[in-house]
Every structure is written in C-alpha cells, then in structure tokens.
Chain A
Amino acid sequence: MGRRDRMSGNEAVANAIRQVNPDVMPAFPITPSTEIPQMVSTFIANGKMDTEFIPVESEHSSMSAALGAEAAGARALTATSSAGLAYMWEELLLAASNRQPLVLALVNRTLSGPLNINADHTDGMGARDTGWIQIYAETNQEAYDNFIQAYPIAENPAVHLPVMICQDGFITSHAVQNIEIEDDEAVKKFVGEREVEEYLLNPGKPISVGPYSVVGYCMEARKAQEVAMENAKDVIIDVAKKFKKEFGRGFELFEEYKTEDADYIMLIMGSAAGTAKQAVDDLRAKGMKVGVLKLRVFRPFPAEEIAKALSKAKAVAIMDRCESYNGHGGPLGMEVMAGLYRAKADVMAVDYIYGLSGRDFTVDNVYDIFAELEDAVKSGKAPAQCQYIGLRTKEGK
C-alpha cells in the first residue's frame, strides 16, 4: 500500500530515484531541476540509497558520464533543464544512437533569450528529434509515476532507447501538492534489475561502443533506431497497463478527459492540462460539450491514435508551449495536423501558442479558446492560427 503524502514535483522525482536506486548519477545543477540532484545526494549521504553520485563540471559531462556508465553495464540517470539540456545536445543523440537505456529527469524551462527561468517546452521540443522517448507529466504524481515506468520502457530489448521524463518547471517542480508514494519494495519490484546483454566491462565478450560508422552501416543504424522507437509505443502501453494494475493509476499514450461526446477538444501537454480539465467541468455544467486530450507520450508520437481520438469533434485547439518560428505553427500543432491530414479527419484544427517563459495559463484562457472554437464552427470561419494566448496589449493589460 502506498502512503498519502505531499511534496513538490522535484521531491517526487527524487523519491522515485531513491526507490529505484540506480547505479550512477552524474549531474550538474541548473534551475529549476537543481533540487533533484541535491535531494538525491542528500539521500545518498544519509545512507538511504547507494547510487554513485558524480558531481561533474557541466551538462556536456553529465550526459557523457551517464552514457559511459550505461555502456559499462550500469543503470544511469541525470537531471537537467533548459540550457543544460541544450549543452547535452551532442550526447543526447549519442545516447540514443548507442542505444543506451538511460533516463533523464527533465524539468522543462525555456531557453534564453530573453533570459528567463520559467516553464515552457522549448527545451524538450528542441530535443524532439534526438531519438529519445519523451513522456510529459501534468502533476507531481505523474512525474513520479512516469519515472518509475522509465527503466522498464527504456531497457526493454525491443526498445533500448533513452527516456526523458518531463515536468513543468516551477509549476509542478516547485509546487507542493498531494501525492501517493508507493512502498519502496513495490517500486523496486516493479522496476526490477537491469539485464545487460552486452557491456564494455565484459572481457569475455568485448564490444565497441560509439565507433566510426562507414556509409555502408550508418543509415541502417538510424533505421534500427526508428524501428525501436516504433516498438516503444507498444512497450509504453504495456508498462502503463502493468503500472495501473499494480498501483491503480495512470494513462497510456494520452488521457481522454470527457472527449467521448465532445464537440470541442483541447489537446494539451503538461501541467496546463489540469487547468483545462477544470475549465471543461465548468463549461460542461453550462451545457457545452467540451473535452481535453492530454498528451502523455510525445515521442514516439501517437499520430494515428490522436487523429482517431479527435476525429469526431467539430473543432480542436492544439496548445503549443513552444515556438517554432516557422510562421506556420508550433511543434505539437504541426505533428497533430499532419496526423489529422493523413487520417483524412475532417476537423477544424487551430494551433495556439501559450505559456511561453512562464506566462500564466488560466481557466479563463481555456473558456475563451473554447468560445472561439464554437464561434468558428457556427460561422464557418476558422480563427487565425498560432495566436499568442495571454499576450499583453499595448495598454499593458
């Protein structure tokens, strides 16, 4: 039986790490993820876990060290945010292409400039094409639950890919909220031990990791990564089902909140999904048929499943907490719309940009967006794409 507790999202992830007790954690501090290595190193100092903590001099090194530890056969992880993730860029691709199933606790924060420490998905979206699995959380609870599921997904022989467990900086990472913390033993049993088939420190079976790949092999290696990412979808679903059976919580690729009969659906990722759900309840009480599709898994991208889930709606708002500066739409909007097009789903889809660099996203914002969708369907005139939500006017409002 789990226990009722209250803690911040960072504390929740630190506790999941303590329970999993991986072998190696190299880390370098950066706001708002700093608390995670700080709390883990405290757990280690207090004898609550025996992970080898390596204080490194940069994120380039933290990811390199994690990668090296994984190649040696250990279970490794690190944590970072924002510019820290950007500084790992080269190693992110190496972790994926070397098929090292390590885990990164990402506390989403914007990237400069202007210099800002608050939440948006610029960091995670920037790494969307690095070959990592990405799972996003609405709450501290989901950040905790997702971390527990990370190694069983990553280390599955059909996958063997690194996993990023993402939560919104400050909004969940620093907010204290209720949570169910499971028993240490139950978590350890769920995660199990890493079964390494091949590793560097095995003199009986020498291998190379990360050698030069000639033209005759490189594209095949990329294809193998792509197949692994496709395989990951079923593995993520399977692990989520097992988690739900064991602990009674969670979602698979996404959560469908009151979408069954919804005319208007908001597709959203991260902490703002909770705000959207509250707005949905309020609007339903007034008779408006609205729902929320909360995307949990961004990589692999469940394009077909999303298109199917949205296909019966009259209009859909796709919420991007990130710019793509293509004059065309945010990363989430582009991928969802491509999926709708391929599925020949005749749904009015409108991309919105919200919450950049911590701009607050409110229940009122959600009311306004649903009202705009309803007006658009009634008038037959689609709203402008990529409107910025909550942007201040010249008058400063």
Chain B
Amino acid sequence: MSKTLEIRWHGRGGQGAKTAALLLADVAFSTGAYVQGFPEYGPERMGAPITAYNRISDEDIRVHSNIYTPDLVVVVDETLLHSVDVTAGLKEDGAILINTPSSVEEITPMLKGYKGKVYTIDACKISIETLGKNFPNTPMLAAVVAITKVMDREPFIANMQESYEHKFAKKPEVIEGNMKALTTAYDAAAAMM
C-alpha cells in the first residue's frame, strides 16, 4: 500500500483542477502505472472550492475512497489557504505545492505549522505570459510532474505535445503557448528540487 502515491488537489470551480488531475492520471498511465483520477463533487459552480484526487501505483488500485493522508497537496488557488484546511492529513514527509507569487518563506506561516516540504510556483504569471490568459492548471500539472517525478522531462513534454495536437486539432495556434507554459513551469519546479 505504501507504494501508492496519493495526491490531493484543491482548486476553485472553473480553474481546471479536475482536468489537471485527470491529465496527471493520463501521464502516469503512459508510464505503465496503475492510476486513479477523480473529482469530489459538491454543488458545482464557478469559484467554489473543489477537490480532486490521484492515486498512482505499481499495483492495481482497489480503494475507492477519498484521500485523507496525501503524499502531496496541490493548491491551485492560494486564496483557499484562508478557507480550506489544505494540509489536513498531509504526511510530514510529503510536500505541498502552492500556486502563488509569494516565496516559500512568505507562504509557510499560512500552513498551520506544516513541517514537510513547501514548494511555490507562480502558475498564474506563467499562464498569462505564455497563454495570455489565467489557466493555472497547465503549469500546475507540469510542476506536479517535476516534483513527483512520475515521468521524466523529455517523455513528458513529448507526451503532452502529442496530447495537445489531438486535443487542439481544430485550434493548433494554442499548442505553442501551452507547451511553453508546461516547459516553463516544469523547469521552475525542477529548479526547486
């Protein structure tokens, strides 16, 4: 059981946290792993706090409950730090990744004394610079892949290129921006490791 990597995503409705969790499942799947990616549904509306989950394992995953003691927590919207107990159950030897322009030192006091690793990335800035819009889920996905090492950089980039060529077949003009967002975020996250 300890071989299963458990990730909990906190985001707001419309930011793509669920999509990012499903994309991460796809990435891990393509490495040959057993995966789970699922959202927790409440009264869905734009801006409401949402949770999504991933399990990644080298064995068949049978548990169908939510995740209470994650190895990694991903916060897609830093304003959630005020209202959601994002570090609840987070393993001390685990990590938290937060989308914020603040530094690790600035953000750590918000984490209720969490003693594990803290990573920050300015996914909104990366998104606006590369895509012209605030879609933080793409850079956050890349940062999670860099931190968890579920896939190496080159195959991940190649994998996502292929995925986007399929997904955006009718609007290829957005592929370059998305790839730039991914590589920028991946490299920024890898530099923190």
**Which residues of A lie under 8 Å from residue B65 when comparing CB positions?**
275, 360-363
Asked if A170 is at the interface of the complex by the 8 Å CB criterion, the answer is yes
Cβ contact within 8 Å between A282 and B64: no
Query: What's the count of A-B pairs with C-beta under 8 Å?
Result: 62
Cβ 8 A contact of A362, one of B22, B25, B35, B68: B68
**Which residues of B lie under 8 Å from residue A272 when comparing CB positions?**
64
Q: How far apart are the CA atoms of A271 and B64 in the complex, in Å?
A: 6
Cβ contact within 8 Å between B41 and A177: no
Cβ 8 A contact of B38, one of A175, A281, A282: A175
> Smallest distance from the beta carbon of B151 to chain A beta carbons, Å?
15
What number of A residues sit within 8 Å (CB to CB) of B? Answer: 25
Q: A170 with B36: in contact, given A275-B63, A277-B62 (CB under 8 Å)? A: no
For B29, the closest partner residue in chain A by CB is A6
Complex interface residues of chain A between 148 and 178 (CB less than 8 A to chain B): 168, 170-172, 174-178
Cβ 8 A contact of A274, one of B26, B29, B35, B63: B63
Asked if B39 is at the interface of the complex by the 8 Å CB criterion, the answer is yes
Q: How far apart are the CA atoms of A62 and B176 in the complex, in Å?
A: 45
Q: A174 with B29: in contact, given A274-B62, A275-B63, A361-B65 (CB under 8 Å)? A: no
Q: How far apart are the CA atoms of A383 and B186 in the complex, in Å?
A: 54
**Which residues of B lie under 8 Å from residue A176 when comparing CB positions?**
22, 25-26, 35-38
* Cβ proximity bits B18-38 to A, threshold 8 Å, 1 near / 0 not: 000010011001000011111
Asked if B1 is at the interface of the complex by the 8 Å CB criterion, the answer is yes
Q: How far apart are the CA atoms of A168 and B60 in the complex, in Å?
A: 19
Asked if B66 is at the interface of the complex by the 8 Å CB criterion, the answer is yes
* Cβ proximity bits A174-209 to B, threshold 8 Å, 1 near / 0 not: 111110000000000000000000000000000000
**Which residues of A lie under 8 Å from residue B29 when comparing CB positions?**
6, 178
Cβ contact within 8 Å between B64 and A6: no
Cβ 8 A contact of B1, one of A271, A282, A362: A282
* Cβ proximity bits A353-384 to B, threshold 8 Å, 1 near / 0 not: 00000101111000000000000000000000
> Smallest distance from the beta carbon of A128 to chain B beta carbons, Å?
23
For B57, the closest partner residue in chain A by CB is A178
Cβ contact within 8 Å between B39 and A174: yes
For B36, the closest partner residue in chain A by CB is A177
Cβ contact within 8 Å between A6 and B68: no
Q: How far apart are the CA atoms of A271 and B29 in the complex, in Å?
A: 21
For B53, the closest partner residue in chain A by CB is A175
**Which residues of B lie under 8 Å from residue A6 when comparing CB positions?**
25-26, 29, 35
**Which residues of A lie under 8 Å from residue B192 when comparing CB positions?**
none
Q: What are the 7 tightest A-B residue pairs by CB atom distance, in nearest-first order?
A: A175-B38, A274-B62, A271-B64, A176-B37, A362-B65, A6-B29, A176-B25
17 residue pairs of the A-B complex, CB under 8 angstroms, read: A6-B25, A117-B41, A170-B38, A172-B64, A174-B38, A176-B22, A176-B25, A176-B26, A176-B37, A178-B34, A178-B60, A274-B63, A278-B1, A281-B1, A282-B1, A362-B66, A362-B68
New contact pairs (9) apart from A170-B38, A278-B1, CB-CB < 8 Å: A6-B26, A170-B41, A175-B64, A178-B60, A278-B62, A360-B65, A361-B65, A362-B68, A363-B63
